[in-house]
Amino acid sequence: MINCISIMPMEQKEIESLIKVSIPDAEVTITDLAGDNNHFSAHITSSLFDGKTRIQQHKMVYDALEGRMGGILHALSLKTTVKKD
């Protein structure tokens, strides 16, 4: 017998919430690219990105998702921008 575990996809609000917990001043815009709650695009703007490379900025976002990337969250295209005062 094979065990099947059904994994529910992440909701956009959950993704946004996780990001805002780790990056409190983040402005987050999330788009469901395929309408399947599995393929998203996210644009995150934060002053905390200032002085960081694009790779460091993206790592901050992935860290905020607490290991869900590649599992519950199948695909996330990121665009990060430094928030200017």
The tens digit of pLDDT for each residue in 32-75 reads 888 877 788 999 999 999 999 999 999 999 999 988 777 777 78
Give residue 57's domain range: 12-82
Q: How much is the pTM?
A: 0.82
Burial 64-75 (b: 16+ CB within 10 A, else e): bbeebbeebbbe
Q: How many domains does the chain have?
A: 1
The verdict on residue 70 lying in a domain is yes
Would you say residue 47 lies in a domain? yes
Per-residue pLDDT of 9-38, as tens digits, reads 778 899 999 999 999 999 999 998 888 777
- In this prediction, residue 8 carries a pLDDT of 63
Per-residue confidence (pLDDT) for residue 41, from 0 to 100: 93
Which CATH number fits the domain that encloses residue 67? 3.30.300.90
